[in-house]
Structures are given as C-alpha cells and as structure tokens.
C-alpha cells in the first residue's frame, strides 16, 4: 500500500514537471514590451513630415508664380522703365 502511494506521488510530481516545462519555456522567450518598428520610425515618419513640408512649399511657390500673372504686365513694364 505504501509503495503504491509513493508511486502515485512520484508520478504526480513527474506529470506536474511536464506541465511546468512549457510554462517555463514561455517565460524564457523574450517578448518585446513595446511594438517598435525601425521602418516606421526612421522612414515613414520623416517621409510624412517631408510630404507635409513639400506640399506647403509647393503651394507657396505656386502662389508666388501666379501672383505676377494677375498684375497687368504693362504696369510692371512701366515700373521697370522708371
């Protein structure tokens, strides 16, 4: 009887150890705490900023180029002659 109890206890210990092994393996794996992407940080964000700045500059250059065509060219020529 005592031997059977000892075998049961021993078999329970082994079964628990087998169950604990996958848990320990999960603990060992290093999971990133922050989802960090080098591609996003170093490529996408600067490109978004560049795209925004480029649109602003392009718009202002376009406004500068359109402005003289609105003014009567004869007025500009008269100012240049004076």
The predicted pLDDT at position 6 comes to 60
Q: Is the pLDDT of residue 7 over 60?
A: no
pLDDT in tens, 36-49: 666 677 777 777 88
Mean pLDDT of the chain: 64
pTM of the model: 0.24
The predicted pLDDT at position 28 comes to 62
Distance CA 57, CA 65 (A): 12
The predicted pLDDT at position 37 comes to 67
Distance CA 47, CA 55 (A): 12
């Amino acid at each position: 009887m005592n031997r059977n109890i000892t075998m049961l206890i021993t078999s329970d210990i082994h079964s628990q150890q087998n169950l604990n092994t996958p848990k320990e393996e999960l603990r060992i794996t290093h999971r990133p705490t922050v989802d960090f992407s080098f591609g996003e940080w170093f490529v996408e964000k600067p490109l978004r900023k560049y795209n925004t700045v480029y649109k602003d500059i392009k718009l202002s250059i376009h406004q500068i180029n359109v402005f003289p065509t609105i003014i009567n060219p004869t007025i500009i020529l008269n100012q240049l002659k004076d």
